[in-house]
Amino acid sequence: MSRNPFHLAWFLQGSSVQAWAEPWTGHIGTSWQQPELFLDMARSLERACFDYILLEDSSYVGESFGGSTELYLKHGIAVPRQDPSVVAALMTQVTSRIGIVPTFGTFAYPPYLLARLVATLDQVSGGRIGWNMVTGSSDFAAMNFGLDGMPEHDLRYDMADEYIDVVQRLWSSWQPGAIIADRASGSLVDPSKVHAVNFEGKFYKTRGPLNSGPAPQGRPVIAQAGGSPRGRGFAAQHADTIVAHPKGIDGMKAYRNDVRARMAAHGRDPDQCKVLFMVAPIIGETAADAQERKRIREARAAAQIPQRLAFLGKLMNIDFGGMDLDKPISDELTTNGHQQTLDQFKTMAAGRTLRQAMGEHNVTALSVELIGTPDSVAARMGEVMQEVGGDGFLFSMPNVSRRLLAEIEDGLVPALQDRGLVRSAYGHQKFRANLLEF
């Protein structure tokens, strides 16, 4: 058993239609515009004492597959997508402890607008907001914001280094104690504790100070997914929590050790950043039931190879629609999109045709496979985390339904709590304090 509890979070794949046309999703195709499922989700995961919900996002309709939007629209592949700031704000109003982490791309928001938006969300949530900081990866998304395309991969991170410097200066433009609210003197704000920023860098320029007032956490929690070497370096320097999906226990351990070494090199305490590994548990009443549910999920995936390739292509900026399914993918394939995703896919597909690779592609495992009863899955999670060393798991299942939430809240989490592997109550009011509690 781990010496300390580990953390739990959920990677919500977009605040819109969930698991379109799959079982146990009700009338999601017509009810998705109203956020009741997400509000129920926030309540459920708070009862289960999760650290946070991360709201993934994209700001365009995919057209990587065959150069067309048809497959994406017909099958609801990452579309529609509602603005995550609105859904995040609503989630905060039906909860009191769980962290809410919307995704905002640095290419889509001027630094002042982003700093003001996130500080406001932190205020209305009582200090429970994070920001999943992404640099963007799609030329189609860039074009929606008046750009010709995305900058080159490593240049995006150079720009992000300056971007996060700007927003942190803006968040710091209000010193602690700036709001005095002294009715006797008639003073609301101490002017000596609010400062202009006057930043002018290579990529960004802003005057400041923020007019929204201070964020309760000072600096809202920063989440980042660093896969490439440049991305890992950025995450190690700036992130409070990292989204990771290396394969297998050895890969998980190596990734965490690498990121922690990079943090130490930047003069940071490695324990101040929590690395959470993506998993997709399948829970059954019996082991046989769980295996049958796995078989059904894999059979469904095998029948949806074009849709799955379209989704992967959207992440990687690669058109798999023009490739022969009965030939291997080229070793020379490159991307300006998600580099780690492509590298992992090429490794998995080595020696196989594209059709075989997709047929064998494990849709139930991200970092490690978790299949069984609540008790057996809880035991396995404890074993994995003991071997890896920390810090927790990030659930990533595209088929969110109330049934799935009940399996986690009322099945898996109690089994984890009974083993002392996760918290049974929050220790603090604010997000960062709960994240750093252990």
**Mean local confidence (pLDDT), 262-283:** 97
pLDDT digits (tens, 9 = 90+) for 69-88: 999 999 999 999 999 999 99
Rounded to the nearest 5°, which phi and psi values hold at 340? Answer: -65, -40
322-362 tens-digit pLDDT: 888 888 888 778 776 666 677 777 777 787 888 878 866 66
CA dist., res. 274 & res. 256, Å (int): 9
Cα–Cα distance for residue pair 194/197, rounded to 1 Å = 10
The two structure tokens encoding residue 293: 């549910």
DSSP state of 365: B
Q: Looking at the predicted structure, is the pLDDT value of residue 410 above 80?
A: yes
Write down the domain spans for the chain.
Answer: 7-173+199-286+365-435, 288-360
Q: Which top CATH class is 7-173+199-286+365-435?
A: alpha beta
Higher pLDDT residue, 315 or 71? 71
Give the count of beta carbons closer than 10 Å to the beta carbon of residue 5.
20
Query: The whole model's pTM is what?
Result: 0.94
Residues 393, 109, 232, 365, CA torsion sign: positive
* Contact present, 59 and 105 (Cβ < 8 Å): yes
H-state helical runs in 106-176: 111-124, 139-143, 153-171
Select from 425, 428, 401 the least CA-distant residue to 413: 425
Q: What pLDDT score does 352 carry?
A: 83
Query: In the predicted model, is pLDDT for residue 2 greater than 60?
Result: no
